[in-house]
């Protein structure tokens, strides 16, 4: 790894004009980060400034599903449990112990003593009940929470320290869900506010940091909570944060973020692109990466489109992709998919045989279904062409992977047109179903995550209309608790998804975080979100 | 005389760019759309004069094949601007009176709106694509042409030969097309050349913002945009197309300046 650094310096003399340009760009970043670093009076090593790749649009963890928002919210709220990113094991956090009733319909949590929200109110059983009721009441406003609380029948405080949560149907996923930031605890006072007020930042949690200032397109500034003493069991240092202020500077340009990290204006870059990872080594800034559990980055067909309604076409597209060739374009911790789930998800199994590159099989499937090569090499049947538009946000870093996929599919006579769109157009078109393909990944360390994308009653980007074995097999996963039985249920669901061509797994996504040399103690949680409670900045 | 100095290199640059647009195979036999992943991000060397990009595609091939859409869009934009602007200017300059007032106030409104903003609005309505960008740039430049043509028409209308033609009983339309228009053409041609340089730059800027042809089609502006994340690791991805745009715009601008001086003095 040290060689990377040496190589970077050795090339530097040829890069002088470029470096000059970078310094100009970095100046732009200083303007953005300036508000945070201009505070001259503070002792060195007291503040941490991290670069966030996307603007913050809503800070209420109960509502927002977006990564950039949740990166901030995670520092503000605690959860009942935490999940060990290495083993997937659920460990105590706000709850010191719990019992799962038979059939996973009843959960009893015993809460830790002495926990308070930042507005002073105690975190007791009544507060936990109020939080769960709030998320259930948010309904569609909480796309992630709705899945975590599927079948929720209510919760009650058995005494001040004991909460009982009940479900109508078995909920094998709920215990893991309690570790997610979406089920983080907000003070009862906060829950009384409107969802819009909470989004804008009027919220108090029990987390290691409290919110100081939100400037939606500029920065979010947090300060350490004095007296914080209830970190999760995974933290090495359990007390109050050692940095006094934590600032999320919004720097959308990846090269500006990278330049600012190298020059020391940022202490961390929360999204390092693949092309910049060569400049990390043992000396200087370090790279912290973790494969994200959950649904891998997956190509999802709009099955209402006539050509994509054809199962042979969907399967041929999967067979015509050579995923092993994606590797050089992927970042640290990312790898070609070998299942519908990432390797770090409980229930994952190596299904690479079903996802192997099989160009002959693709040709056979298409020929058998009557798709013949047209004059331009693209297959046609009647008036239909195998030409598909893949819409994605221009801010997404995977444009080159899509272009490589387009090259590979062209070999089989399928035209893929990756179309980058601005965020507003992208979400409008995805909402209206105006696409042939979209690509999604959903992060969660539990196989029930499949229920957020594939069943008819879910986000359903495939626009499927009739429930079939995909729906029934995925529903089955939530009802079983025994690991072996779960693995079987996941296998059945994965089989139904892959053989039905409802999702074409591409690659496993990772969180890649660049850290300045002076920063230590930052860890990634099981969802790949950075935790700054432990962080330390050397002067 | 001093201006003549740069004419030959400018003409050569323009000639090369035009030739690249018409016969890209002549300059680079490599495929601009397919690359070899084992040869990704190679710095400039003998086999790849301008290096390769993140998918192993030859940057020279992409720049050469990108000249056709980029220049085409600029030429179409100027064409639209000249045609629409001349028509508006001719009508306003000939009719005068209330119609002239009305048309020219509308043109002034168009001129008051920052042209880049106007282009973005038009592209947002039409959707992304090379032709759409060309149309938007053309519309935004038409106002300038209409003002110049109107001024020329008013100037030429008062001259002796036009009055003589009218006295001879020549039809109004014939006078406009055979006497007024040809004599007003000089400044328009000079302005068109200057605007061409502008148009190349604007088309590249709009394509840089992601409104041009969708990937993987190469366009000068989108090539720079695609290379931007690699600024620190692969300078050639942004530098080469950037230099090409600079060279073409400078060349066109210089020739335009020479033409303008000629039309003013001659």
Residues of chain B neighbouring A15 (CB-CB closer than 8 A): 232, 235
Task: Name every residue whose Cβ is closer than 8 Å to that of residue B174 and which is 6 or more positions away in sequence.
Answer: none
Q: Do A394 and B232 touch (CB under 8 A)?
A: no
Helix, strand or coil for residue A418? strand
Question: In the predicted model, is pLDDT for residue A43 greater than 80?
Answer: no
Q: Examine residue B31 and state whether it is found in any structural domain, yes or no.
A: no
Q: Is A248 helix (H, G, I), strand (E, B) or coil?
A: strand
A301 lies in the same domain as A355 = yes
Q: What is the mean pLDDT of chain A?
A: 88
What is the secondary structure of A197-239 as a DSSP string? Answer: HHHTT---BSSSEEEEEEETTTEEEEEEPTT-----TT-SS-S
Give the pairing of strands A209-215 and A372-373. Answer: unpaired
- The pLDDT, as a whole number, for residue B197 is 92
Same domain, A230 and A155: no
Q: Within a domain: residue B184?
A: yes
Residue B199: the pLDDT is 94
What does the pLDDT look like over B76-93, one tens digit per residue? 999 999 999 999 998 898
| Window 229-268 of A, Cβ < 8 Å to B | 253-255, 258-259
Strands of the A106-111 sheet, one edge to the other: A95-100, A106-111, A162-167, A152-159
Whether B39 is in a domain gets the answer no
Tell me whether residue A485 is exposed, middle or buried, using C-beta atoms within 10 angstroms of its C-beta: 0 to 12, 13 to 18, 19 or more. middle
Instruction: Give the residue with greater pLDDT, A357 vs B95.
Output: A357
> Is residue A268 in a domain?
yes
Average pLDDT score over chain B:
89
Terminal Cα distance for chain B, rounded? 14
- Considering only residues B228 and A134, tell me which one the structure prediction assigns the higher pLDDT: A134
A27-31, A471-475, B171-175: which is most confident:
A471-475
Q: Does A196 reside within a domain?
A: no
* Residue A539 scores a pLDDT above 80: no
Total count of domains within chain B: 1
Q: Which one has a higher pLDDT value, B60 or A397?
A: B60
Is residue A30 pLDDT above 70, yes or no?
A: no
CATH number at residue B87: 1.10.3720.10
A422 within domain boundaries: yes
B-chain residue closest to A408, CA distance = B34
A contacts of B55 (beta carbons < 8 Å) = 329, 400, 403-404, 407
Q: How far is CA A507 from the centre of its chain?
A: 14
pLDDT band at B266 (very low <50, low <70, confident <90, very high): low
Query: A167 with A222, same domain?
Result: no
The model's confidence at residue A21, banded by pLDDT at 50, 70 and 90, is very low
pLDDT reading at A388 higher than 80: yes
Residue B157's pLDDT band (cuts 50, 70, 90): confident
pLDDT, tens digit (0-9, with 9 covering 90-100), for B9-59: 999 999 999 999 999 988 888 889 888 888 888 999 988 999 999 899 999
Q: How many domains does chain A have?
A: 3
How would residue A29 be classed by pLDDT, with cut points 50, 70 and 90? very low
Give me the pLDDT at residue A104, please.
87
| Region for residue B214 given its phi and psi (left: phi exceeds 0; alpha: psi -120 to 50; beta: otherwise) | beta
pLDDT above 50 (res A40): no
pLDDT at A41: 38
CA–CA separation, A185 and B259 (whole Å): 72
Q: Whats the size of chain B, residue-wise?
A: 266
pLDDT tens digit string along A121-130? 999 999 999 9
Query: CB neighbours (10 Å) of residue A460?
Result: 17
Residue A502 in any domain: the answer is yes
Q: Which residue has the higher pLDDT, A126 or A4?
A: A126
Q: Look up the domain containing A473 and give its range.
A: 294-508
Residue A23 has pLDDT above 70, yes or no: no
Does A348 have pLDDT greater than 70? yes
Helix, strand counts (H, E) of chain A: 16, 26
| Domain interval for residue B57 | 2-25+46-265
- Percent of chain A exceeding pLDDT 70 equals 92
Q: Is residue B163 part of a domain?
A: yes
Query: Is B75 contained in some domain?
Result: yes
Question: Quick one: what percent of chain B has pLDDT higher than 70?
Answer: 98
Residue A173: closest CA among A150, A153, A157: A150
Residues A362 and A482 in one domain: yes
pLDDT at B2: 56
Q: Dump pLDDT digits (tens) for A258-270.
A: 989 999 999 999 9
Can you state the angle between helices B59-95 and B236-265, rounded to 10 degrees? 30
Considering the domain boundaries, does residue A444 fall inside one?
Answer: yes
At A427, which helix (H) or strand (E)? helix A423-432
Kindly state the average pLDDT of the residues A385-390.
Answer: 95
Residues A262, A407, single domain; the answer is no
Residues from chain B contacting residue A422 (CB–CB below 8 Å): 210
In a domain, B90, yes or no: yes
pLDDT of A13 strictly over 70: no
Query: Residue A1 falls within a domain, yes or no?
Result: no
Chain B residues closer than 8 Å to A418 by CB:
214-216
**Pairwise CA distance, residues A470 & A455, whole Å:** 7
* Chain B residues interacting with chain A (CB cutoff of 8 angstroms): 33-34, 37, 40-41, 54-55, 210, 214-216, 226, 228-235, 239
What order of strands is seen across the sheet that includes strand A415-421? A335-336, A504-508, A294-301, A437-443, A387-393, A415-421
């Amino acid at each position: 790894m040290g060689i990377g650094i040496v190589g970077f310096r050795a090339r530097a003399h040829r890069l002088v004009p470029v470096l000059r340009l970078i310094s100009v760009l970095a100046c732009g970043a200083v303007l953005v980060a300036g508000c945070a670093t201009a505070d001259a009076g503070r002792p060195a090593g007291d503040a941490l400034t991290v670069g966030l790749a996307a603007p913050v649009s809503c800070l209420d963890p109960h509502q927002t599903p977006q990564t950039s928002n949740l990166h901030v919210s995670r520092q503000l709220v605690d959860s009942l449990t935490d999940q060990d990113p290495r083993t997937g094991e659920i460990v105590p956090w706000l709850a010191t112990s719990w019992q799962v009733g038979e059939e996973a319909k009843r959960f009893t949590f015993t809460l830790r003593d002495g926990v308070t929200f930042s507005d002073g109110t105690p975190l007791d059983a009544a507060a936990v009940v109020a939080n769960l009721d709030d998320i259930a009441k948010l309904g569609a406003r909480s796309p992630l929470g709705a899945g975590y609380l599927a079948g929720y029948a209510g919760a009650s405080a058995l005494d001040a320290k004991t909460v009982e949560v009940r479900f109508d149907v078995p909920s094998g996923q709920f215990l893991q869900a309690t570790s997610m930031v979406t089920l983080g605890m907000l003070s009862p006072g906060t829950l009384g506010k409107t969802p819009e007020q909470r989004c804008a930042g009027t919220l108090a949690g029990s987390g290691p940091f409290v919110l100081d200032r939100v400037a939606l397109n500029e920065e979010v500034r947090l300060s350490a909570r004095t007296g914080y003493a209830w970190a999760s069991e995974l933290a090495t240092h359990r007390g109050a944060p050692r940095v006094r202020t934590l600032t999320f500077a919004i720097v959308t340009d990846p090269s500006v973020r990278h330049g600012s990290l190298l020059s020391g204006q940022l202490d961390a870059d929360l999204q390092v692109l693949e092309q910049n990872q060569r400049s990390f080594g043992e000396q200087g800034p370090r790279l912290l990466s973790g494969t994200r559990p959950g649904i891998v980055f997956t190509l999802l067909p709009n099955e209402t489109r006539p050509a994509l309604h054809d199962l042979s076409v969907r399967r041929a597209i999967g067979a015509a992709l050579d995923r092993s060739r994606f590797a050089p374009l992927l970042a640290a911790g990312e790898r070609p998919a070998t299942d519908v789930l990432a390797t770090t998800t409980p229930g994952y199994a190596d299904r690479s045989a079903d996802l192997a590159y099989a160009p002959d099989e693709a040709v056979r499937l298409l020929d058998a279904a009557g798709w013949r090569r047209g004059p331009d090499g693209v297959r046609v049947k009647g008036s239909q062409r195998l030409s598909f538009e893949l819409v994605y946000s221009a801010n997404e870093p995977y444009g080159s992977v899509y272009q490589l996929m387009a090259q590979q599919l062209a070999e089989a006579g399928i035209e893929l047109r990756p179309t980058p769109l601005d965020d507003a157009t992208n979400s409008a078109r995805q909402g209206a179903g105006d696409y042939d393909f979209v690509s999604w990944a959903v992060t969660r360390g539990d196989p029930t995550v499949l229920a957020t994308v594939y069943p008819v009653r879910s986000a359903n980007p495939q626009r499927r209309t009739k429930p079939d074995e995909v729906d029934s097999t995925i529903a089955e996963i939530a009802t079983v608790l025994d690991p072996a039985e779960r693995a079987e249920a996941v296998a059945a669901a994965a089989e139904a998804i892959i053989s039905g061509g409802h999702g074409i797994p591409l690659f496993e996504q990772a969180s890649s975080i660049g850290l300045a040399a002076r920063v230590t103690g930052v860890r990634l949680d099981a969802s790949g979100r950075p935790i700054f409670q432990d962080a330390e900045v050397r002067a | 005389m001093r201006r003549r100095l740069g004419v030959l290199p400018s003409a050569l640059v323009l000639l090369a760019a035009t030739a690249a647009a018409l016969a890209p195979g002549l300059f680079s036999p490599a495929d601009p759309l397919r690359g070899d992943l084992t040869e990704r991000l190679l710095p400039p060397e003998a086999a790849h004069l301008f290096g390769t990009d993140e998918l192993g595609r030859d940057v020279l091939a992409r720049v050469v094949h990108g000249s056709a859409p980029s220049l085409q869009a600029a030429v179409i934009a100027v064409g639209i601007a000249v045609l629409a602007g001349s028509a508006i200017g001719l009508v306003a300059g000939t009719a005068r009176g209330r119609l002239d007032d009305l048309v020219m106030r509308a043109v002034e409104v168009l001129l008051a709106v920052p042209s880049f903003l106007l282009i973005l609005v038009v592209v947002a309505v039409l959707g992304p694509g090379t032709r759409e960008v060309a149309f938007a740039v053309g519309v935004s430049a038409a106002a300038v042409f209409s003002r110049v043509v109107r001024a020329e028409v008013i100037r030429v209308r008062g001259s002796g030969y036009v009055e003589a033609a009218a006295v001879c009983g020549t039809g109004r339309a014939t006078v406009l097309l055979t006497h007024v228009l040809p004599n007003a053409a000089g400044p328009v041609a000079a302005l068109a050349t200057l605007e061409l340089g502008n148009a190349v730059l604007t088309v590249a800027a709009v394509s840089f913002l992601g409104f041009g042809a969708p990937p993987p089609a190469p366009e000068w502006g989108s090539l720079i945009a695609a290379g931007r994340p690699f600024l620190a690791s692969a300078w050639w991805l942004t530098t080469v197309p950037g230099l090409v745009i600079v060279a073409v715009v400078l060349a066109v601008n210089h020739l335009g300046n020479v033409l303008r001086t000629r039309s003013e003095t001659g």
